Structure 1
Amino acid sequence: MIKPRTKAPDLTIDLVNDTTWSLADQTPDNFTLVVVYRGKHCPICKKYLQTLQQHLPEFTEKGVNLIAISSDSEKRAKATYDEWKVKDLPIGYNFPIAEARAWGLAISKGIKEEPEEFIEPALFLIRPDQTLYASSIQTMPFARPEIEELLKSIDFIVKENYPARGEA
């Protein structure tokens, strides 16, 4: 697990629009939000990413850069992008399982229509200096942070200059 107030691991990932995204290149006013989703097989992820898409302008107003990533293949990620109608959301793919473990993420073995292995959901709020402010790591598709509450929390954090917690 990455502790708050420590540097997040390097993250460079290919996007469905045939570009590359790098955490080191991000220069948000307040935060970069890295959302890890399970993949195309997950209907709960679909709803979550569509909610992110819907609130993307609010994140931008609050000085938050956003990306959603999974261990899905390029083909599956591009199908996700097209079918889920998340046209403004940067979608990264082929996030290696080994790197996911370095981020402290939960890994599942596939059942039924799922990939052989995939990453369970997580959310990382990272400061412009690439230190972790907060994280939420799940072992299931359920119990993720509500997007609307996250937006309210960002307002509070910025207004009150609230420090990262959980570093001890």
Structure 2
Amino acid sequence: MFTNKLLPGSNFPDIEVKLSPSETFTLGSTINKDADWQMVIVYRGAHCPLCTKFLNTLEDYKYLFLDLGIELIAVSADRHKQLEQHKADLNVGFTLGYGLSLAGMDKLGVYQSVPRNEHETDHVFSEPALFIINRDKTIIAVDISNNPFCRPEVNTLYEGLKWVRNPENNYPIRGTHNEPVVKDC
């Protein structure tokens, strides 16, 4: 398995997803004029009830995140028809993208899974990930999981980002130390 994890403090790659059959969107480009940061939520797809629950919980916090200047966009590898069917179980008003390609998943460094059977889905899909990106497309925070039950708790995520966005806290991007380890001989 190849994996190329994105590093905090690095630039978020240009990855396009579909918003509709005739409209594409480049992740990291803000849609909402009231936001200068973006939370990109990568989810498994319509087949995942834990993803549905997580997205619906995020909806409850959508305006709180927007008050912090952070817009939400959720994306999956699903096809348009799958997303449209999934919307019956979703109660979200934030942007939903679909058609995340294998190349896009590779650029994001997310874990990928093959469906267990045809009832799950009919394509390789991404496991959950979350990226917080600032206006310059610098990665502020990263959370990548290999399964649907290891995700940040939404209230903790909100409170943490509230702390980070407060200029009085002068909170740096964490996880950027990258000096080689010297082994004892």
Q: TM-score, normalised by structure 2?
A: 0.84
Q: Which structure has the larger Rg over C-alpha atoms?
A: 2
Q: Does 1:135 align with 2:142?
A: yes
Identity across matched positions, percent? 34
Say if 1:24 and 1:122 are closer, same or farther in 2 by CA, change over 3 A.
closer
Aligned length: 167
Residue correspondence of structure 1 range 121-132 to structure 2 within 5 A: 121-132=128-139
Q: Specify the SS of the correspondent of 1:129.
A: coil
Taking the aligned partners of 1:147 and 1:17, their CA distance within structure 2 comes to 31
User: Is the 2:28–2:133 Cα contact (8 Å) retained in structure 1?
Assistant: no
- Cα deviation per residue 1:51-87 (whole Å; 9 max; x = unaligned)? 011111111111001100000011001111233222x
**How many Å apart are 1:29 and its aligned residue?**
4.4
SS at match of 1:55: helix
Q: Does residue 1:166 correspond to 2:175, yes or no?
A: yes
1:44-123 matches, cutoff 5 A: 44-86=50-92, 88-112=93-117, 113-115=119-121, 116-123=123-130
Q: Is the 8 A contact 2:52 2:89 kept in 1?
A: no
Q: Does 1:38 align with 2:38?
A: no
Once residues 111 and 44 of structure 1 are traced to their aligned partners in structure 2, the CA distance between those partners, rounded to angstroms, is: 16
Gaps of 5+ in 2: 179-185
Give structure 1 stretches of 5+ with no counterpart: none
- Structure 2: distance between partners of 1:9 and 1:147: 25
Report the AA paired with residue 25 of structure 2: W
Does structure 2 conserve the Cα–Cα contact (< 8 Å) formed by 1:109 and 1:117?
Answer: yes
Amino acid at match of 1:68: A
- For the Cα contact (< 8 Å) 1:13–1:92, is it kept in 2? yes
Q: Could you tell me how far 1:18 is from its partner in structure 2?
A: 5.8
1:22 to partner: Cα distance:
2.3
- The SS at the match of 1:77 is helix
Whether the 8 Å CA contact 1:108–1:117 is kept in 2: the answer is: yes
Equivalence map 1:7-18=2 (5 Å): 7-16=11-20
- Give TM-score scaled by structure 1 length: 0.92
RMSD of Structure 2 on Structure 1 (CA): 1.7
Greater shift, 11-20 or 148-157, is seen at 11-20
Q: Is the 8 A contact 2:12 2:28 kept in 1?
A: no
Stretch moving more, 118-127 or 16-25: 16-25
